[in-house]
């Protein structure tokens, strides 16, 4: 999410997509294309919002960042969870309560707390490097 906000939608998508592939491979969980895509979307949506961010430590930018986290997590984890309907044959209740809710809540809590901290830290980096 942070990389999407800082570097745009393509970087955000690749960070989420490739990052999830690598994390699953390091953990030995295999290769789950729909969950990789879902994590990619979680980075893509904040990347779209990056056009509204000028100064990373501004209140308005941080608010846009938080909005993008909520939207990105809902869409990304939504796609990944609902893919279980055609992959595993799960019904809507299973998908919502066994897949979507745990994934959505976990990611949104991490995102809402860490994104503002990372944005403020990155603002210092930007100022120092003169970007």
Partner 1 sequence: MLVAWNYRYRNSPMDHIDPRARFIFSFAILFAATATWNPAILFAVFVVSILWYSMGRLTWKDTRLGWLMISIMLFTMIVVNTIITGGGAGGVVPPGGQLVWPNGAVIFGRQVNLGLTVERLWFAVSQLMRILSISLVFIMIPYTMDSRAYGVTFSKLGLPDRLAYTMELSFRFIPTLARNFQVTLDAQRARGFELDAGKGNIVQKIRQVAPLLIPVTMNAIVSSEDIANAMDLRGFGQMKRTWLYELKFHWWDWAIIAFGAVMLVVILILAYRFDMRLFSVPQWWYELFG
Closer to partner 1 by Cβ: residue 51 or 97: 97
The yes or no reply on residue 29 touching partner 1 (CB under 8 A) is: yes
Which of 117, 11, 108 is CA-nearest to residue 69?
108
Give the binding-site size for partner 1 (rule: CB under 8 A).
39
Q: Cβ–Cβ contacts within 10 Å for residue 15, how many?
A: 22
Which of 22, 21, 75 is CA-nearest to residue 48?
75
Separation CA 117–CA 2 (nearest Å): 10
CB of 124 to partner 1, least distance (A): 8
Chain residues in the site for partner 1 (CB under 8 A): 2, 6, 14, 18-19, 21-22, 24-33, 84-94, 98, 109-110, 113-114, 117-118, 121-122, 125, 129
């Amino acid at each position: 999410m942070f990389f999407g906000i800082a570097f745009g939608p393509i970087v955000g998508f690749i960070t989420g997509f490739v990052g999830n592939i690598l994390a699953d491979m390091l953990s030995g969980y295999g290769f789950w294309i729909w969950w990789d895509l879902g994590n990619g979307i979680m980075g893509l949506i904040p990347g779209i919002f990056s056009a509204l961010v000028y100064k990373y430590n501004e209140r308005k930018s941080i608010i846009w960042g938080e909005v993008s986290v909520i939207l990105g997590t809902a869409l990304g984890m939504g796609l990944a969870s609902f893919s279980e309907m055609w992959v595993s044959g799960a019904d809507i209740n299973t998908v919502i309560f066994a897949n979507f809710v745990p994934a959505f809540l976990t990611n949104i809590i991490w995102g809402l707390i860490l994104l503002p901290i990372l944005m403020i830290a990155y603002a210092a980096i930007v100022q120092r490097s003169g970007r």
